[in-house]
A and B are shown apart, each in its own frame.
Chain A
Amino acid sequence: MTSASLSNELANPRRDRLRQLGRRALWRLAGGVLVLWAVATLTFFALRLMPGDPVQAILGGPSGNPTPETIAEATREYGLDKPLPVQYALYLGRLVQGDLGVSYSQHLPVTRVLAEQSWPTLELTFTSLVLAWLLVLALTVLTAGRRRWVGTLASLAETLSAALPHFWLGILLLAVFAFGLRLFPPAGSDGWRTLVLPSFALAIPLAGFIAQVTRESLDLTLEQPFVLTARTRGLSDFKVRFKHALRHAVLPGISLSGWAIGALISGAVVIEVIFSRKGLGRQLYQAVQAQDLPLTIGISLVVAAGYVLANILVDLLYLWVDPRQQGNTR
């Protein structure tokens, strides 16, 4: 390739890169909308296939004992007398307008329930993810490529924490730090102090998992010739790790984080029950039990949207950290 043609092509690499990232984000968002539509459709039909009568669920569950008139009225009111394709079309139409209907069990608009419950869960997953990454970085940067026994010990600790189940860790933390040492409150969802124990319960297993991958990747990176070159320029070992090696080492961990957000949300269901926190996880659990169709769909959609969004962010973050991937993007 001649230098002349190259210069036209890459007149401003920085701007080019931003434009590519933007294009990539749009593509992924379009894909995300498709995923959300699929989720909405699947939940809709799955809940229709479940045994039990939705009308009965609306009117207070098995113990409600409503009259035939009320049943007929409710059926008409909720549009349950129409054929399934029509119901589906109406449902999609309302969805596009942001109307998720009224919760059968709580008799509140689903959007309001979501607005109240989303924040605590978001807070919990986000804190856990950040905490997990802090643990990963501290553990790997300090111990990778050191003496053999240090690495062995650290990776043993990682394997162990990756194997810990959330609920067990949650109960352990409760017993020691809430009831034993009385450092943090055992339940509730107000203030940062209530966030500490649940976050650790979610973050520790995740950190163990991501750290295993990051350590291996960091060990490999420290063997690379550019690390030696950086040392020949007079960079200290510590700076080499932070300025050069770390960026390479976090790449596999970043890819994992997209998956990890899904794992964190499912972990949040258990943790929210154990620590009696407000949140989507607990709501979902209750809504499914009560056959509360609108609420279940609403929560599924929010969780799916969060997952899609997180994965787009992870994807863009990966591209930002590793510019080599840009050649393969569309």
Chain B
Amino acid sequence: MNANIQTLGPLVDIRDLSVRFGQAEPVLHGVSLQIHRGECLALVGESGSGKSVTARTLAGLTGKGAQIQAAKLAFQGIDLRGLDERSWQRLRGAGIGFVMQDALGALDPLRRVGAEVEEPLQLHTRLGQEARRLRVLQLLRDVGIPEPELRASQYPWQLSGGLRQRALIASAIACNPRLIIADEPTTALDATVQAQVIALLESLRGEENALLMVSHDLSVVSRLADRVAVMRHGVIVEQGTTEQVLQDPQHPYTQLLLRAARAVHYQPERRLLTAVEPDPQPEGEVLLEAKDLSKSFVGPDGRKRTVLKQVSLQLRRGETLGVVGESGSGKTTLTRLILGLETADEGDVWVAGQQWSTLDARHKRQARKAVQVVFQDPLNSFDPRYTVQRVLFEALAVAGLPRRDWRSRALQLLELVRLDAGVLSRRPIDLSGGQRQRIAIARTLASEPQILICDEPVSALDVSVQAQILELLDDLKQRLGLACLFISHDLGVINHVSERVLVMKDGEVVEAGSVRAVFDRPVHAYTRALIAAIPTLDVQHEPTEFYLQVAI
């Protein structure tokens, strides 16, 4: 940042901003932030911290019924407090570009990608139709989208997640906005794609413009941000340069966040070469075995797509096997085969000694009790009208427990997941994400399973809650002697919980072994790319060349 730019004053100047909706408690209290030209500020906080409200207020889109009070709220010296809707519309898209989370929802599915990127040009420039078309193609090229002509004429849902996010970024930067606000721009993406999008955002920073990154994940933003502001309950608890905040956090909440992030995220260490210790011989009874599973589906275009190729695995009592893979790697199909919900084209699955292919529908239902699944987003797997008690009682009824034992067993289950009996009368929607996931786990335990399949169980949770749930799962595994198949796209989480790991790509197991062996000496190029893509909390990190690869 050079001196004469700073004399212009900050690009964004917020002093004492408070926001409340209707008569409810304020969601922001006295937030003060400055963003200077050429700078990247990261706004970090867990869900409900008010980070998104702050970002939206800067775009004049706080929401219906919002009451905004501020000592100062300025962008480029313009007072935003008294701005009418017309002036806001001129500012949005032109002076301020907004990139939202989850480009699948953020791009209109009924309009072509090109039309979406073109929209701000239509609104804010006087370019003719042909000039706009060329500019759209240039923008798509600039954000690293190959074959821009083709992509511009496709619909958002025909693009991969990474390309969608790039297209969304292209539409936000179409008019060269001075301020780019990115609200969780990488949360819905696979790890390697996430790293690429971060690199793209980094490349967008210039002398004149600034970037505001909003994220729940400290490690994601630390790579990019010059300064970090940590928010909690609508208050900025700490603000400073990235280095200061990461290495010498002052506020206890920042310290807690960092501890949780370090605990959950695998931190690659540079180790000296040591002698390779042989993998310890696995012991314990084999509860789940899959041999040479293959499965293909016929796609809508009539072509056969192989989603699983010759996948084998063994899971023993008291063991956690991690399965890592990005979207489309075949993880979901593998789960469905293990649950016996699909039949494999080749190969077979043995669950607690029973072979799926030899069982009829009735026996399958019986056998399925031994395998239970914990999903990513438990809210969708609960009937919203049910109370927790009803959710648990239903599971106990299915498990075949006599009615008089339901209550005592439900209390037992709650105790196992460390919740008190008070939650019984509440509905899942009123609980926090962590509590909901605990209820989901309690429900799976109702049928006394031997095998627990955890399908991205912590991906939707805040980082401080993630650590607690992982610890709970580990504890349950020990206490109940469960075997655990842990599926995740997050290597850090896998590293945290599993003893052995399978790395899957395009339906194949590309690497398998003990966690230590795979993480310290990855053999396959894909595993290495996955490990390199893990965001780190180190301030000093070496540039990683693979970001510059063509977009996936």
Whether B93 contacts A9 by the Cβ 8 Å rule is no
Say whether B92 contacts A247, CB under 8 Å. Answer: no
How far is A244 from B115 in the complex, measured between Cα atoms in Å? 11
B263 to chain A, nearest CB (A): 31
Asked if A164 is at the interface (CB within 8 A of a chain B CB), the reply is no
Identify which of B98, B105, B107, B153 contacts A232 (C-beta below 8 A).
B98
Whether, in the assembled complex, A34 has its beta carbon less than 8 Å from a beta carbon of chain B, the answer is no
Interface string of A1-39 (1 = CB under 8 A from B): 101001101111110000000000000000000000000
**Contact yes or no, A236 B85, CB < 8 A:** yes
Among A43-51, A121-129, A220-228, the stretch that binds chain B is: A220-228
Task: Tell which of A7, A231, A237 touches B147, judged by Cβ atoms closer than 8 Å.
Answer: A7
CB closest chain-B residue, reference A147: B64
CB closest chain-A residue, reference B181? A232
Say if the beta carbon of A107 comes within 8 Å of chain B: no
Closest B residue, CB atoms, query A229: B106
Partner of B155, one of A231, A233, A324: A324
B92 touching A233, Cβ below 8 Å? yes
**Are the C-beta atoms of B89 and A234 separated by less than 8 Å?**
yes
For B93, the chain A residues whose CB sits under 8 A away are 232-235
Tell me which residues across on chain B come within 8 A of A228, comparing CB atoms. 61, 100, 106
**Shortest Cβ distance from B474 into chain A, in angstroms?**
35
Residue in B89, B94, B171, B301 with the greatest tally of chain A CB atoms within 10 Å: B89
Q: How far is the CA of A233 from the CA of B92 in the complex (A)?
A: 5
Instruction: Give chain A nearest CB distance to B247 CB in angstroms.
Output: 35
Q: In the assembled complex, how far is the CB of residue B69 from the closest CB belonging to chain A, in whole angstroms?
A: 22
Q: Once the chains bind, are B155 and A323 in contact (CB under 8 Å)?
A: yes
Chain A residues lying within 8 Å of B94, measured Cβ to Cβ, are 234
Complexed CA–CA distance, A323 and B300 (Å): 14
Q: Which chain A residues lie closer than 8 Å to B146 at the CB level?
A: 3
A324 to chain B, nearest CB (A): 6
B292 on the A face (CB < 8 A): no
Nearest A-chain residue to B160, judged by Cβ: A1
Is there a chain B Cβ closer than 8 Å to A97's Cβ?
no
Enumerate chain A residues within 8 angstroms of B550, measured Cβ to Cβ. 3
- Given A7-B147, A14-B153, A324-B157, decide whether A236 and B107 contact each other with a Cβ distance below 8 A: no
- Residues in B whose Cβ lies below 8 Å from that of A322: 110
B153 interface neighbour in A13, A226, A230, Cβ under 8 Å? A13
List the A side residues contacting B124 at CB < 8 Å. Answer: 234
A231 engages B106 (CB within 8 Å): no
A328 touches B (CB below 8 Å): yes
Of all chain A residues, which has the CB nearest B86? A236
Shortest distance between the CB of A123 and any CB in chain B (Å): 32
Q: Would you call B26 an interface residue if the criterion is a C-beta within 8 Å of the partner chain's C-beta atoms?
A: no
Q: Assuming A232-B93, A233-B120, A324-B157, is B109 touching A226 (CB within 8 A)?
A: yes
Flag B90-128 by CB within 8 Å of A: 1 or 0 each.
111110111011100111111100000001100110000
Given A3-B147, A224-B105, A328-B300: A230 and B119 interface contact (C-beta under 8 Å): yes
**A235 with B89, Cβ < 8 A, contacts A225-B102, A323-B155, A324-B155 known:** yes
Question: Do A13 and B150 have beta carbons less than 8 Å apart?
Answer: yes
Bound: A268/B89 CA distance, A? 48
A248 to B111, CA, bound (A): 11
A327 at the interface (CB under 8 A from B): yes
CB distance from B309 to the nearest CB of A (A): 16
Residues 41-91 of B at the A interface (beta carbon under 8 Å): 59, 61, 85, 88-91
> Is B143 an interface residue when CB atoms closer than 8 A count as contact?
no
Q: With a 10 A CB-CB cut-off, give which of A9, A229, A230 has the most chain B CB atoms.
A: A229
| A247 with B119: CB separation less than 8 A | no
CB <8 Å contact, B154 and A234: no
Q: Is the CB of A13 within 8 A of B154?
A: yes
Once the chains bind, are B119 and A233 in contact (CB under 8 Å)? yes
Q: Which residues, 167 to 195 on B, are CB-close (under 8 Å) to A? A: 168, 171-172
List the B side residues contacting A234 at CB < 8 Å. 88-94, 120, 123-124
| Cβ 8 A contact of B150, one of A1, A10, A225 | A10
**CA A327 – CA B105 in complex, angstroms?**
19
The distance in angstroms between the C-alpha atoms of A9 and B105, with both chains bound, is 25
- Contact between B123 and A230, CB atoms less than 8 A apart: no
Given contacts A3-B147, A226-B105, A235-B123, contact A248 B100 (CB under 8 A): no
**B478: Cβ under 8 A from any A Cβ:** no
Q: Within 8 Å of chain B (Cβ to Cβ): is A321? A: yes
Which B residues are CB-close (under 8 A) to A248? 110
In the complex, chain A residues whose CB is within 8 Å of the CB of B153 = 12-14
Produce 1/0 per residue, A190-229, CB < 8 A to B: 0000000000000000000000000000000000111011
Q: B108 contacts A233, CB within 8 Å?
A: no
Q: How far is the CB of A145 from chain B (nearest CB, A)?
A: 9
State whether A233 touches B171 (Cβ < 8 A). yes
Contacts of B61 in A (CB 8 A): 228, 231-232
Chain A positions within 8 Å of B147 at CB level: 3, 7
Closest-by-CB residue of A relative to B550 is: A3
Q: A289-330: contact bitstring with B at CB < 8 Å (1 yes, 0 no)?
A: 000000000000000000000000000000001111001100
Closest to A227 in B: B108
Q: Return the chain A residue nearest B96 by Cβ.
A: A232
Q: Is the CB of A226 within 8 A of B91?
A: no
Q: CB-CB < 8 A to A233: which residues of B?
A: 92-93, 98, 119-120, 123, 171-172
Name the distance in Å between A224's Cβ and chain B's nearest Cβ. Answer: 6
A229 to B96, CA, bound (A): 12
List B293-324 residues whose CB lies under 8 Å from chain A. 300-301
Q: Quick one: closest B residue to A322, CB to CB?
A: B110
Which residues in A have their C-beta under 8 angstroms from that of B98?
Answer: 229, 232-233
Q: How far is the CB of B167 from chain A (nearest CB, A)?
A: 11
Interface core residue of A7, A9, A233 (most chain B CB under 10 Å) = A233
Q: Is the CB of B110 within 8 A of A323?
A: yes
Q: Are A225 and B90 in contact (CB under 8 A)?
A: no
Report Cα–Cα, A3/B147, bound state, in Å. Answer: 9
Give Cα distance in the complex from A67 to B328, angstroms: 83
Contacts of B157 in A (CB 8 A): 324
Which residue on A lies nearest to B108, using beta carbons? A226
> Which residue of B has the minimal Cβ distance to A327?
B300
From residue B251, how far is it (CB to closest CB) to chain A in Å? 31
Give chain B residues whose Cβ lies under 8 Å from the Cβ of A225.
Answer: 100-102, 105-106
Please determine whether B150 and A235 come into contact, CB atoms closer than 8 angstroms.
no
- Verify A229–B150 contact, CB threshold 8 A: no
Distance A237 CA – B96 CA, assembled complex (angstroms): 18
- Give chain B's interface residues, CB within 8 Å of chain A: 59, 61, 85, 88-94, 96-98, 100-102, 105-111, 119-120, 123-124, 146-147, 150, 153-155, 157-158, 160, 168, 171-172, 300-301, 328, 550
Complex A-B: 7 CB contacts under 8 Å: A228-B106, A229-B98, A230-B119, A233-B171, A233-B172, A244-B108, A322-B110
| Chain A interface residues toward B at CB < 8 A | 1, 3, 6-7, 9-14, 224-226, 228-237, 244, 247-248, 321-324, 327-328
Q: List 10 tightest A-B contacts by C-beta distance, closest first.
A: A232-B98, A234-B93, A233-B93, A225-B105, A234-B92, A226-B108, A233-B120, A229-B106, A327-B300, A234-B89
**Given A7-B147, A225-B100, A235-B89, 14 further pairs, Cβ under 8 A:** A3-B550, A12-B153, A13-B153, A228-B100, A229-B108, A232-B92, A232-B100, A233-B171, A234-B88, A234-B92, A234-B94, A235-B123, A244-B108, A247-B110
